Structure 1
């Protein structure tokens, strides 16, 4: 089943995209800031902004998703 049809998997993909984009922006800020108007890189730039500004909530959501995946296997 793809992530589009499973809501929990879709949320997991979105959270991983936000976390990865935030880390990539931290490591390579010039590349993302230069191309923020580009459609493809612009989406990742916006995800990085969400990750930077809402980092406590994003990390809490990652912990909840990780716990739900872990407890779902038991």
Structure 2
């Protein structure tokens, strides 16, 4: 819960969610594709961001490291 109050930690959590969702979509695409709507749809959206903006996401990973 403290990651929500610290801006750098919030960015790190979002970046990890994007990377994890993208990897999960690459390994098991049906898992995220059937949950496009609802609460779990946010992970599908994170996976789309990770797939389409992968050079920028990887650059952010390097900068956060």
TM range, normalised to the smaller chain?
over 0.9
| TM-score scaled by length of structure 2 | 0.94
Q: Does 1:47 align with 2:15?
A: no
Following TM superposition, the consecutive aligned residue runs of length 4 or more in structure 1 with deviations greater than 4 angstroms are: none
Query: Structure 2: where are the runs of 5+ without partners?
Result: none
Which protein shows a greater Rg? 1
Report the equivalent of 1:72: none
What is the correspondence of 1:53-68 to structure 2 with a 5 Å cutoff?
A: 53-66=52-65
Give the aligned CA root-mean-square deviation in angstroms: 1.1
Q: Secondary structure of 1:21's partner?
A: helix
**How many pairs are equivalent?**
65
Query: Structure 1: where are the runs of 5+ without partners?
Result: 67-74
| TM-score scaled by length of structure 1 | 0.83
